[in-house]
Chains A and B, each alone.
Chain A
Amino acid sequence: MEYFISLAVLVGIYITLSSSFNLIIGFGGLVSIAHPIFFALGAYTTGLLAIHFQTHPVLAVLAGGGVAFLSSMMLSLPSLRISGDYLLITSIGFQLGLLEVIKHLGVTGGASGLGNIPNVVEGSYRSAVFAVVSCSIAAVVVWMIRWLLTGPYGRVITAMRDDELAFSALGRNAMMIKLSLFAIGSGFAGIAGGIYAYYFQYISPDQFEILQSAMLLTMVVVGGMGSQWGPVVGAVLLLLLPQAISFLNLPPSVMAPLQGVIFTTLVLVFLFWRPQGLIAPDKRQSAKDA
Chain B
Amino acid sequence: MSVLISLRDVCKSFGGIVVADHISIDIQRGEILGLIGPNGAGKTSLFNLISGVYPADSGSIAVSGQSLDGLNLHQRARLGVARTWQHMRLFASMSVLENLLVAPRNYPGEKISNIIFKPKQTAAANHAVRERAMGILKRMHLESIAHSNVNDITFGQQKLVGLARALMNDGECLLLDEPMAGVEGNAYETMKSIVREEASSGRAVCVVEHNVSFIKDLCNSAVFMASGKILERGSVDSLLASKTLADLYFGA
Contact = CB atoms under 8 A, between A and B. Distances in A.
Which of A159, A172, A286 lies at the interface centre, i.e. has the most chain B CB atoms within 10 A of its CB? A286
A171 B102 CA distance: 10
A152 B109 contact: yes
B224 to A, nearest CB: 26
Contacts of A170: 74, 77, 82, 102-103, 105, 165, 169
A258 interface: no
B74 A159 contact: no
A52 interface: no
B118 to A, nearest CB: 13
B101 A169 contact: no
A171 B74 contact: yes
Interface string B132-170: 000000000000001101000000000000000100010
8 contacts: A155-B110, A159-B94, A159-B99, A165-B53, A166-B85, A169-B73, A285-B149, A286-B97
Interface residues of A, number: 26
Given A152-B107, A171-B169, A284-B94, A165 B89 contact: yes
Interface string B53-71: 1000000000000000000
B94 A162 contact: yes
A173 interface: yes
A156 B102 contact: yes
A24 B102 CA distance: 20
Interface in B82-137: 82-83, 85, 89-95, 97-99, 101-103, 105, 107, 109-110, 112, 115, 126
Interface of B: 51, 53, 72-75, 77-78, 82-83, 85, 89-95, 97-99, 101-103, 105, 107, 109-110, 112, 115, 126, 146-147, 149, 165, 169
Which of A151, A153, A159, A170 lies at the interface centre, i.e. has the most chain B CB atoms within 10 A of its CB? A170
Contacts of A286: 94-95, 97-98, 101, 146-147
B93 A288 contact: no
B91 A152 contact: no
Q: At the interface, is chain B mostly helix, strand, loop or mixed? A: mixed
A168 B93 contact: no
Interface string A138-172: 00000000001001110110110011011111111
B74 A174 contact: yes
A116 to B, nearest CB: 38
A152 B106 CA distance: 12
Contact of A171 (B77, B98, B110): B77
A143 to B, nearest CB: 14
B95 A163 contact: no
A283 B101 CA distance: 17
Given A162-B92, A170-B169, A284-B95, A155 B78 contact: no
A168 B51 CA distance: 10
B73 A165 contact: yes
B94 A151 contact: no
Which of A159, A174, A285 lies at the interface centre, i.e. has the most chain B CB atoms within 10 A of its CB? A159
Contacts of B77: 168-172
Interface in A260-290: 283-286, 288, 290
A152 B93 contact: no
